[in-house]
Amino acid sequence: MPEVLELKPLKKKHLKLIMVESEFPIEWWFEAPKKEKENIIWNLHLISKEYLNLIEKLLEKYKPDFALEEQPNCLGAFLNPNDPLKLLFKEKNIPFKHADISENAEGYLSSALDEHRSCIQKLEDRIKEIIKKRGDLPKDDELFQQLVLWKEYLKRDYEEQENEVRYKVREAWMMMNILNLAKDIDGKKLKGLFICDLRHFNGLEKLSEELGVETEKIKIKRTIKTAEIEEELEEDVEIDMS
């Protein structure tokens, strides 16, 4: 039976949600752009030792009863059985899950935009065909201009609808994931740790207020140790000329 989105306050439980900024932005699309599919960081879902150390310190400080991470929209999240975060939470005996919109809901919302995707692709093909035939941009061609405008209107509308799902819809589903996990945990006063993209902080905080969930936000500060990088690069490029 398909999962239904339903947000209800926890009964006889108080939840404090500690929102932790993910090390890298967690991107989401109905269909990932080609350039992102070739992005090593995005594809492998890499996590640094420094970030893992930070999470471990937060676990020691807050002693959460459970933890979740926003589901990364990439192959690595599904293919890597040795996900460092999963292993860390397992080692600490902390229930852990990924949070995201259900596959059925995503599929339904995506199919509603199939016509948009098809029209945009047909317009792009026609535009390329005209450019190839003319050998340049036919700036004075009214039909060409109209095709370009139609494509931009459709693309903008598609992006607006995708953005609605990317934030409002997914945030509601993620909050339901959090509440459902909290329901399964024994105790009246609970603490949950949620690792997610910084861009979700405001939306999740608003939902939390409506549902009587206390929140705390932790943003990470990034520093780059250029000396270490240069030293590592120098070691990598050493050539034995003997």
In three-state secondary structure terms, 117 is helix
What is the spatial distance between Cα 111 and Cα 30, in angstroms, rounded to a whole number? 10
Burial of 95 (0-12, 13-18, 19+ CB in 10 A): middle
Token output for 78: 């599904």
Which has the closest alpha carbon to 188: 10, 5, 8? 10
Helices 114-134 + 142-164 axis angle, to 10: 150
Local structure of 76: helix, strand or coil:
helix
Distance between CA atoms of residues 68 and 192, nearest Å: 8
Position 239 scores a pLDDT of: 38
What confidence tens digit (pLDDT) does each residue in 71-104 have?
Answer: 876 654 555 667 889 899 999 999 999 999 998 9
Coil/strand/helix, residue 238: coil
Which of 211, 182, 3 lies closest to 95 in space, CA to CA? 182
Confidence band, pLDDT 50/70/90 cuts, at residue 178: very high
What are the residue boundaries of the structural domains of the chain, listed by start? 14-101+170-236
Rounded-to-integer distance, Cα 158 and Cα 87, Å? 38
Local confidence band at 238 (pLDDT 50, 70, 90 cut-offs):
very low
> Averaged over 112-141, what is the pLDDT?
87
Q: What is the mean pLDDT of the chain?
A: 86
